[in-house]
Every structure is written in C-alpha cells, then in structure tokens.
Amino acid sequence: PQLLEEQERLIATLIEAHRKTYDASYSDFSQFRPPKRGDGSPECRNATNPFLMSLLNSDMDELPKASASGAEAAAGDELSMLPHLADLVSYSIQKVIGFAKMIPGFKELCTEDQISLLKASAIEIIILRSNESFTMEDNSWTCGSNEFKYQIGDVMQAGHKLELLEPLVKFQVNMKKLDLHEAEHVLLMAICLFSPDRPGVQDRCRVEEVQEHLTETLRAYIACRHPLSCKHMLYTKMVEKLTELRSLNEEHSKQYLQISQDAVNKEDLPPLLLEVFGNPTA
Ligand code: 0VO
C-alpha cells in the first residue's frame, strides 16, 4: 500500500490536534489541587505507629484512647492523592474532548453518539496519551518535577489497587517498547475513540466507516514509513493494545465505583469526572 495524499492530510490533522491538546511541559499541573503523599513524612510515620509515637513524644506513660490516636488519621490518609489525580484526569478528559472535536468525522456524529464514544473511551485514551510521560527508568509517569512524578504507590493513595495498577504499568512498558512514531500514536488514539461497539452508539455504521478509514491509514503508514526491521507485526501489536485497553477500562470502572463510594469528601471528584465515569450518589 502507498500513503495517499488524503491520508497524509489526515495524519497531519491528527498530529496537529494532539499537539494543540497535549502540553508536554505539564505547566497546568500546578493548578490542580496539590498532591498529598503519605510517604516518609513525620505525620505519616506517626499514623502507622500512633501509640508508640505518642508515648515517645510525650511524658505520658499510658496508652491514648484509640479514637484520639492516629488510627483514623492513617485511614483518612488513604485517599490523600485523590483530589490531585481526580483533577489531573478531569483536565485530561477536557483535552481528549478537544482532540476528538478536531478528528474528521467526529463533529458530524449526533451529540448522543459523541457522548457515548467519549464516555466509553475517555479512560483508554488517557491511558494511551499518558504513555508520553511514562518512563521505564523508574516505571513512573514523570510530568516535570518530583511533585508531579506519579508512581504506583501514589495511584494506590488515590484508592486504586494492584489488580489495575500491575497490568497498567505492564501496558505502559510494552507501549513504550513499541516506540511508536507520533503518527502511529495519534492514529491509535483516534481508532480507540471510533469504536462502533461502545454501549449506546446509534449510528454504528458511520463510526465503523471512520474507524476503518483510520485503520487503513495506519496500515499504509506502517507499510511505507516504518523501518523494515521494526514494522514486523506492528499493526497487529497495536490492535492487541486496544484489546488490553478494554480490560484495563473494565477494571478501572470497578475500582472507580468503589473509590467514589469510599470518598468521604464528595468534592474530591470534579463534576466532569462524575458525568463521564458515573456518580453513585445520583
Ligand atoms: C494523564 C497521567 C494521566 C488512573 C488509572 C497519569 C486513574 C487516576 C484516578 C491513573 C493511573 C481516578 C480516580 C496524563 C498524563 C499522566 C501526562 O502524560 C495526560 O493526559 O495519570 C495516571 C492515572 C496512573 C497514572 C480518576 O481513577 C477517575 C482515582 C487509569
């Protein structure tokens, strides 16, 4: 296959759309509610050994009452990263919406289908775009300074569990190893968005048509632009990533539901997040 002029233009449009909606300097992150990490801080160590700490830090020689101690502080600390990560994901959803609106064919869908596609794919596209900040050096998402470096432990402090985080990090590592070109990266996000089998989609045929046009463009791009030595099975591997994203999405939904039920401060979850991922109290 050969890249047609129209396919070249499509790729250029997608790359431009992504560049306009992905700020690789991460300068907006300081506007999110600040990250709170329970790691190594005196308060946190205090919270894990509340009785010992209070005996060592005072002249008392009796155990304090459980309710007055750090036992609850420790439990309360569990969702300490939730406000920051919820703001990061809510911000990312806004950027994904901006990206979607610039994809040829998206605006032509009815609003209901636009919403169905975005609701179902938002977390998958966020997982894909976050690969840009993921580094195999220490398996973290490094978005500038240490304050905005996210490791597994940080995401656990937002309430997520290893059943999601272990396959998620594996996914990020394997994505990194594919070493995609920018054209392939943006095409994969667009293909993910235009999945006709998402719940609630009315005009499946129109969504499928756009998706097939995107996948044809990806195949052609790989065939004529990707170096011979690395293109072996690349398209197949990319399609497999879409399957893995479905299962990460499913596990994320389950854990999100639990987190949103556990959250004592309902303000921790921004309204856009509640609309896209669900609001258990609604
Ligand atoms: C976006 C990141 C995200 C997840 C699980 C890194 C969920 C977090 C919170 C998660 C896991 C909630 C509620 C971008 C970058 C980095 C920069 O590349 C850019 O869009 O964010 C992560 C998010 C690990 C890292 C949200 O589930 C509902 C607790 C997918």
The answer to whether residues 187 and 11 touch, using CB atoms and an 8 Å cutoff, is: yes
Pocket-forming residues, ligand 1, beta carbon under 6 Å: 82, 85-86, 88-89, 92, 123, 126-127, 129-130, 132-133, 141, 143, 150, 155, 158-159, 252, 256, 259, 273, 277
- Amino acid type, 205: C
Q: Which of 55, 6, 26, 263 is nearest to 147 (CA)?
A: 26
For residues 48 and 70, what is the distance between their CA atoms, to the nearest angstrom? 7
Prediction ipTM score: 0.99
pLDDT in tens, 157-181: 999 999 999 999 999 999 999 999 9
Mean pLDDT by 10 residues, the chain (282 residues): 94 98 98 87 58 73 55 59 98 98 98 98 99 98 97 98 98 98 98 98 98 97 87 92 98 98 95 96 87
Query: Closest residue (by CA) to atom 10 of ligand 1?
Result: 155
